[in-house]
Structure 1
């Protein structure tokens, strides 16, 4: 997966967590797809009555498929990587356009999280902002699950970054350290939560 993103990792750099927006962000395109499929079903006899109607049906289905697939790909490749050396934010702006920003752990100045609105509160969604020291740039993760856990993870990594310089720490050692914090599970580098892995 990471090869397809064309990310060059540093020596001894290991991915600790892969964070995506919550799948609820796909609710709108899914609703649109279902709505038009139901609508098409009412006129199915009309579309199948002639060759022209059948061609129109195929065109509509191709448009719906392209619409749904594009939204899924934008969601899937819009990710936030946490490694034992840095944070990498990949914003997928379009099918063929993306923006990548990063900051090393020792340059993190502040990490905050927000949960706004009823829907976000119900589903436990929020945003996490990482302030880069020495600049006004901010890396933001939006509509993600467990924003508090992510904030604690990044803060923990920032606190031990100096220690990791003095004594080289692997990703597993960092995770063991972070486990001392009682927090909710995050997605690992395979995209599954630790609770899901146990199952």
Structure 2
């Protein structure tokens, strides 16, 4: 057990060190060191879009109230709200289930698509050749989030964590695990 990493959790569990967490393809002697999700600030974009669409729906209902009969208005509103809620649900599921996992043996990128498609990208720590951190732009600098690109040797797929909190700390943790 690596005592150098203290347990901690960030808002919305977007950056968790030593969480009480297990996953489907975890090995018997494999210990989860870090779990990553996109920074919560990224979710504000689609959350505000949902609010904007709902406000626009109310405005459209007020402006065009006399053009449709009540049944047509109900059907149109029902369909519009269903589309808005579907957009919200899709983004919520994508945000929650797209997870980066760093263990004492591997780095794993789990991408979940809304229709049940799961994509695992896995790299053994010993096969990692380069780790690049990219944090560009005003908001990424202000809120301390960015991308972490992990290049591996040979034909293994590279692992990428997009818009995760504290990308330099993620890189530091992975480098410490590689050195062991």
Instruction: Give the TM-score of the pair, scaled to structure 2.
Output: 0.77
Unmatched 5+ residue regions in structure 1? 161-199
**Alignment partner of 1:156: what SS?**
helix
Distance across 1 between alignment mates of 2:114 and 2:72:
33
1:92-133 per-position Cα deviation (integer Å, ceiling 9, x unaligned): 344322321101122222222121122211111111111112
Instruction: Give the TM-score of the pair, scaled to structure 1.
Output: 0.70
Which of 74-83 and 88-97 deviates more? 88-97
The residue number in structure 2 matching 1:14 is 31
Structure 2 residue corresponding to 1:98, chosen from 115, 118, 142: 118
Aligned: 1:126 with 2:126: no
Aligned: 1:115 with 2:135: yes
CA RMSD of aligned residues (A): 2.4
Unmatched 5+ residue regions in structure 2? 1-19
Distance across 1 between alignment mates of 2:168 and 2:53:
38
The residue number in structure 2 matching 1:29 is 46
Distance across 2 between alignment mates of 1:153 and 1:70:
31
Looking at secondary structure, tell me which structure has more helix per residue: 1
Aligned length: 158
The residue number in structure 2 matching 1:149 is 169
Distance across 1 between alignment mates of 2:69 and 2:57:
14
